[in-house]
Amino acid sequence: MSTTAVLADSTAAPPAAAASLRRYAAFAARRTARALIVIVLAYVLVFLVLAALPGDPISAQLESPQAGYTDAQKAQIRKFYGLDQPVLLQLLISLGSALRGNLGLSLSTSQPVTTVLGDAIGSTLTLATTALALAVLIAAVLGLLSRLLGPGPLNALVRALPAAFLSTPNFVIGLVLIQVLAVGLGLFSLVDPDSAGSTLAAALTLAIPVSAQIAQVLITALDESAGQDYAEVALARGLPPVQVVLRHLLRPSLLPTVTVVGLVLGEVLGGSLITETIFGRTGIGTVVQKAVTAQDVPVLLAAVVLSAGVFVVVNLVIDLLYPLLDPRLRGTEATR
Amino acid sequence: MTTAAVLSPDPLTATRPLTRARRRPPITVLLSFGVIVVVLAWSLAPGLFTRHDPAVGVPDDKFTAPGAEYWLGTDHLGRDLLARIIHGTASSITSALIAVAIGLVVGGALGLLSGYLGGWVDVVIGRAVEVLLAIPGFLLAVVVVTALGYDTRNAAIATGVSAVAVFARLMRAEVLRVRTSVFIEAARLNGGSSAYILSRHILPNAVRPVVSLAILQFGVAILVIAGLAFLGYGDPPPASDWGLLVADGREHLIRAPWLVIAPGLVIAVVVLSVSRISSWLDQGRTR
Amino acid sequence: MHQSPDPEGTISPWIAESWEQNEDATSYVLHLRSGITFSDGTPLDAQAVVANIEAWAVGRPDEGLPPVGLFPGGTFASAQAVDELTVQVDFTAPTLSFLPTLGYHGCLLLAPSSLAGTLEQQSDLAFQIGLGPFVLDSWAAGHHVRLVRREDYDWAPAVLGASGPALLEAITFRVLPDVTLRASAARAHQTDLSYNVNPQLLESFTDAGFHVEVPRYLGFVHGYSLRTDVRPFDDVRVRQAFTRGIDRAGILRTVFTDAWEPATSWLQAAVPEATDLTELFAYDPDLAASLIDEAGWTQRDADGFRTKDGTQLGFTIYPTPYLTGSVPEAELASQHLTRLGIHLRTQKLDIPTWAERVTNNPAQGVGEVTRSFVDVGTVAGVITDDGEDWFAVGSSDTELVRLRDALAGAVSREERAPIVDELSRHVLEQAYFIPLEQNVQSIDVQSPELTGITFNAVAIPSYHAATKDPS
C-alpha cells in the first residue's frame, strides 16, 4: 500500500521460502538503508520547498522600522544565522550538521531546535499512541460486530459508521467534545491539556477518523476469511459464532490490519496539528503551527522530517515483522 | 490526510464476496447523488436558494439563533449563515476540483511513466513517491501552502501536491496489472507501437479505478482544504468557503454553536456522499 | 527601573529613589535605592544599572542581541557609575523620553551575569535573574511559566500602596494559544484570568458573573494611517471622505462592548497631552459624499462603485493580526464605505506576510496602527521622512516638519503640550490618520474572586497586590 515499492520488493525478498538467518539479515539491512535514504531525501525535499518562502522572521524583525537597525547591524545578524549564503550551500551545511545531530537554532526563540522538538515530542507520542490504541479498539469492536450481528439494519449501521467517521472534519469532532465534555459536563481540564482526561478526549478526536480506516480494512478482511472453507467448516461443526470469529477469522485478518495501522500513523501525525491546536497541547503539531506562523524554517523543517522519520521507522518495523507474522511464512520462525 | 492510502480501490475490496447483484443503485447511492445535485445547483446559481446577502448583514441581528427568519442563524456581523454556506459552495467545490486535478494529472502521469517504462525511471519515480508518502499528507500540505502563501487557491494546490503520490501509486499498479495481461501481449505481438498500446489498451483499462480514486480524493480534498482553512491558511473574508466558516465560527462557539455545527455538517454530508458514490463505482467495477 | 507611568502618564520612584536632569534634557542623574538585591543574592549597584542601560541602548547585535527598540539609543552618549548608588546618563540631544522609557517593560533590570550571557543562554528564562516580587519556579517554552513569591522582596513602588512580599504565593501562567480554548477554559471556571478573549463573547461572560478588564495604554489609538503617495489617498478630499464615512459608533456597538471608548483624537485619551478633537473626524456620510463628488469620483461602475476616468475608487485593507477584532472592524468599515460607493477590500494575513505586505511595502496605501508609547515624543519620529514617515509625506508638508521640530526640540512637558495639540489637529484635518477606537492592550476575563491587579501606562499588569478570595 503506502510503501508500495517496499512491499513490491518483499515478494522477491528471500525470507518467504528459505529461512536462513543470513538472508533475513541481508533483507533487513537493505530495507533499513532504504528507509534512511527516504528520510534524508525527505529532508532535502522539505528544505527546498521551504527555501521558496518569501521571508524569514529575522529579516522581518530587522526590516521593521521600529527596530531601527543600521545596514551593518542587519548584515551582522543575518550572517550569524547563516542567512547570507546561497540556498544550495545552506542546504549542504544544514544537512551536514543535521546528520551530525545538530539541527541549528530556532529563528524565533533562538533555542536549539533539538530542545524545541525534544520538549514537544513526548506529548505527541503520548497522544499518538493513545489515539492508535483507541482507534484499534473502536475498529475491533466494529469489526466483531459486523460479523456477529446478523444481516439487518444494525449490521448495516455498523458497516456505514466508518464512512461517516471518515467524513466528519476532525476539528468539528474536537470542538464538540470540548464544549460538551469539558465546558458542559466539566469532565476534563482545558487548562491542563496533559491531564489524563484531556489527553483521552484529544486522542478520541484523532482516533475517530483513523479507526474508520482500520475498521474498513478489518471488516473486509473478516468478510474474506468468512468465505474461506475452513471458516465454513468450523461453523458447520457447530462452533459458536464468537469462537469462530475470534479463533478462525481474526488471525488471518491480523496481517492487513497491522499494515494499515502502520499506514494510518501518518494520518495521526498529520492530524495532531489540528487536534493539538484545539486542545492546547504543546506537541509537534503546535510546534509546526507556530513555526509556520513565524516562518521559523529550521524548526519547521526538523519537525516535518521528524514526523516523516517516525512514520518510516514504524513502517520499517512492520515490514521487518511481516515475514514473522504471516502464517503462510511460518518457516521464517526459525530465523528468530 | 492520506485517507485514500487505505480506501484506494485495491484488489482486496474489489473481490469482496458480498456482491449483491442488483441493477438499480442502492437508496444510499441515490441519496448521495441527490446531495451532489443540490451542491452543484448551489454553486451554479446561489441566488436562487437564498434571498439574504452573504457579505452584508444586519449588525443588530448578530448571533441570532436558527429560526424562521434565519434558518441557520446569523454570525458575528449579523449575516445569514445559510446564505454564506450557499454562496461559499462554488469556491469550496472549485478548490477541491483543482486539488484533484493536480493529483490526477501529475500523479497519473508519473505512475504511467513509472509503470510503463520501468527501469531507472521507475526507480527514480518510485523513490520520489516513497518520500512523498513518508511525509504525513496534511503536514506536507501545510508546508507547501506556507511556501506558496495563504489563500484558498494555494491551499488547493498544496492539497493536490499531497495527493500526487497516491495517484502515482495507483496508476503504476494499474499499468503493471494491465501490461501483463493477455491482450496487451497480443497487441505487442501484433506489432503495435508503444504509444498506441498505451493510449488504446492501457489507459482505458486503468481509467475506472483511477476515476473512483479521484472521486474519493475529491471528498478528501474538501476535508484537507477545510482543515487548512481552519488553521488559518485559507481565504480572506468576506469569502465564505466552508472551512473558513468553521474557522471564523469557532471563535464564537461559546455564544453561537451553530456557526461551527452547520458548516461542519454540510462538509460531512458532502464528503460522505462522495465517498459512497466512489465505493459504489468501485464495487461495480469487478462485475 | 522607575515604576512605570501610571494610567495618567506620571512617573514615580521605584528602584531609582530620585533623579535630576539638566536644563536641556541631555543629562540625567539617577539615585538608586539601597538594599535591593537580585534574586540570586547579588546586590543592585550603579555598575549593574550601567550595564543594563548599555544593553538597552546599544546591545550586542553581532551576537544576535539587539538593543531595545523604544529606548532612545539614537541620542545615547554614555552611562557611568558616579558612586555605588549613583548613575549618570548623557545624551547628545534633548531626550525627554529617557525617564518614561525606564518604566517600559522592555527595559527590565537583569543581573550583570545574565546580561553577559550568550543569546542561547539568555533564551532560557531560568538564566534571567531579575529583582521583582516573583521568581521563576519552572517553565517550558510555549507551555507554562510558574512564578513563586520572593519572600525577601521589600521594594514595591510606593505608588502601588503595598509593601513587603506579594500576597499571592504563586502564579501559574499557562500558554493556551487558541482563542476558543481560552474562552472555553474561562467559561468552564478553570482559570482565574483569561487573556484576550474575543470581544464579541464578553457579553455572555459578564452575564455569567465574570469581571472583564480592558486596560488601555498610552499611545496611538487604533486606526488606519494613509500613505499620501498612493492613489486615491493623494487627494485630501478622498482621505477626508474615508474618515467621515465610517460609522464608529456602529463598529463599537457590533464588534466591541461598552467597555471600549470611542477615539477622541489620534492619541489615546490618557496621553497627558491629548485633547478632544472628535469634531474633526466625526461620522458624516453626507459630507463624505459631497467631498468625493467634489474630487471628481462621480461616475459609477456596474457594481455601483464610484469611478473617475475609468478607475474604480477602491483600496485594500489588511487588518492587523495583532488585534482581536481588526477583521470584523475592517469588514464593517467596508460596508459603510460601500454605501458611499467606495470599494474597500479586506484580506486577512498572518504576521510575517502582514509585515511584508503592509509595514514594509511602500505601495500599500493603508497601514494599521496599534502602537503604544511611553512618551509623546515618539510622535515626532513617525510623521516625516526623518523617521518612519507613516503618511509618506517626506518633508513636503512644511507645517508637519515645523511641528515635528518643535516637538522633538522641546525641553519641558509644559512647552510640549500645545505643540502636540496643534500637530494632532493638523494630522486629523489632513486625514492622514483615520482613528477608529481607543485601543486596549488586553481583554481580561477574571473570575470574581480575583482582585487587586494593577496596570501601568502600557497596560502591563502587576500582580504584587493581587489576592484571590477562596469561595
Q: pLDDT tens-digit profile of B29-83?
A: 999 999 999 999 999 988 888 888 888 888 888 888 898 888 899 988 889 999 9
**CA atoms of C26 and C9, how far apart (whole Å):** 21
Please check whether residue B192 touches C, CB under 8 A: no
Size of interface A-B (CB pairs under 8 A): 184
Q: Do C204 and B76 touch (CB under 8 A)?
A: no
What's the pLDDT at C276? 95
Q: Measure A72 CA to nearest chain B CA, in Å.
A: 29
**CA atoms of C18 and C2, how far apart (whole Å):** 9
What's the pLDDT at C141? 76
Q: Is residue B1 part of a domain?
A: no
CA distances from C309 to A184, C91, C228, C345 (A): 59, 54, 20, 21
Residues of C with CB under 8 A from a CB of A: 61-64, 66, 69, 73-74, 119-120, 122-124, 140-143, 174-178, 180-181, 184-185, 187-188, 190-191, 350-353, 355-356, 359-360, 388
What are the residue ranges spanned by the domains of chain A?
Answer: 108-295
CA atoms within 13 A on the CB side of C214: 17
Q: Is residue B2 part of a domain?
A: no
pLDDT tens-place string over residues A173-184: 999 999 999 988
Q: Do B250 and C180 touch (CB under 8 A)?
A: yes
**Three-state SS letters, A117-154:** HHHHHHHHHHHHHHHHHHHHHHHHHHHHHHHHCCCCHH
Touching partners of C (3+ C-beta pairs < 8 Å): A, B
What's the pLDDT at A8? 38
Please check whether residue C347 touches B, CB under 8 A: yes
Q: Residues B112-119: contacts with CB within 8 Å, 24+ apart?
A: B112/B171, B112/B172, B112/B175, B112/B198, B112/B202, B112/B203, B114/B168, B114/B171, B114/B172, B114/B175, B115/B171, B115/B172, B115/B173, B115/B174, B115/B175, B115/B176, B115/B179, B116/B175, B116/B179, B116/B194, B116/B198, B116/B202
pLDDT tens-place string over residues A139-160: 999 998 988 887 888 888 888 8
Which residues belong to CATH 3.40.190.10 in chain C?
2-118, 134-214+443-468
For the entire predicted model, the pTM comes to 0.79
Touching partners of A (3+ C-beta pairs < 8 Å): B, C
C contacts of B56 (beta carbons < 8 Å)? 335, 338
What's the pLDDT at A70? 64
Residue B19 CB neighbours (<10 A): 11
Please check whether residue B35 touches C, CB under 8 A: no
**Residue C378 clears pLDDT 90, i.e. is over it:** no
Q: Do B254 and C347 touch (CB under 8 A)?
A: no
Q: Do C348 and B78 touch (CB under 8 A)?
A: no
Q: Measure C327 CA to nearest chain B CA, in Å.
A: 8
What's the pLDDT at C470? 67
What's the pLDDT at B3? 39
Which residues belong to CATH 3.10.105.10 in chain C?
222-437
Q: Measure B177 CA to nearest chain A CA, in Å.
A: 13
B contacts of C351 (beta carbons < 8 Å)? none
A contacts of C124 (beta carbons < 8 Å)? 111
- Average pLDDT value for residue range C424-448: 93
Q: Which CATH architecture has domain A108-295?
A: Orthogonal Bundle (1.10)
A102 pLDDT band, cuts 50/70/90, is confident
Give the range of the structural domain holding residue B119, as residue numbers without chain letter: 84-286
What's the grid cell of residue B134?
Answer: 513518508
Please check whether residue C339 touches B, CB under 8 A: no
Please check whether residue C198 touches B, CB under 8 A: yes
Topology at the third CATH level for domain C134-214+443-468: D-Maltodextrin-Binding Protein; domain 2 (3.40.190)
Q: Do C181 and A178 touch (CB under 8 A)?
A: yes
C7 pLDDT band, cuts 50/70/90, is low
Beta-strand runs (E) in chain A: none
Q: Do C331 and B238 touch (CB under 8 A)?
A: yes
What's the pLDDT at A59? 62
Q: Do C184 and B254 touch (CB under 8 A)?
A: yes
Q: Which CATH architecture has domain C2-118?
A: 3-Layer(aba) Sandwich (3.40)
Q: Do A167 and B130 touch (CB under 8 A)?
A: no
What's the pLDDT at A69? 61
C contacts of A183 (beta carbons < 8 Å)? 184, 187-188
Q: What is the CATH number of the domain that holds B275?
A: 1.10.3720.10
**CA atoms of A26 and A13, how far apart (whole Å):** 10
Q: Measure A59 CA to nearest chain C CA, in Å.
A: 10
B contacts of C187 (beta carbons < 8 Å)? 254
Q: Which residue has the cell 485594500?
A: C316
**Residue C460 clears pLDDT 90, i.e. is over it:** no
Phi-psi group of A63: left, alpha or beta (phi > 0 → left; psi -120 to 50 → alpha; rest → beta): alpha
**CA atoms of A148 and C230, how far apart (whole Å):** 73
As a CATH number, domain C222-437 is: 3.10.105.10
The helix or strand, by DSSP H or E, that contains position C17, with its residue range, turns out to be strand C16-21
Evaluate whether C432 touches C255 at the Cβ level (below 8 Å): no
Instruction: Identify the bridge partners of residue C139 per DSSP, sorted by sequence position.
Output: C145
Spans of chain B, pLDDT less than 70: 1-23, 182-184, 192, 234-239, 284-287
C contacts of A67 (beta carbons < 8 Å)? 66, 69
Q: Do A304 and B257 touch (CB under 8 A)?
A: no
List the single residue in B139, B147, B231 with the smallest CB-CB distance to A50: B147
Q: Measure A11 CA to nearest chain B CA, in Å.
A: 15
What whole-number percentage of chain A has pLDDT above 70? 79
Q: Measure C461 CA to nearest chain A CA, in Å.
A: 21
For strand C211-213 and strand C444-446, is the pairing parallel, antiparallel, or unpaired?
antiparallel
Closest-approach residue (CA) in chain A for C190: A191
The mean pLDDT value of chain A amounts to 79
What's the grid cell of residue C258?
Answer: 461598552
Q: State the best of B3, B133, B270 to mutate against chain A, taking most chain A CBs within 10 Å.
A: B133
A contacts of C73 (beta carbons < 8 Å)? 68
A contacts of B144 (beta carbons < 8 Å)? 49
**CA atoms of C36 and C152, how far apart (whole Å):** 10
Count of domains forming chain B: 1
What's the grid cell of residue A276?
Answer: 493539538
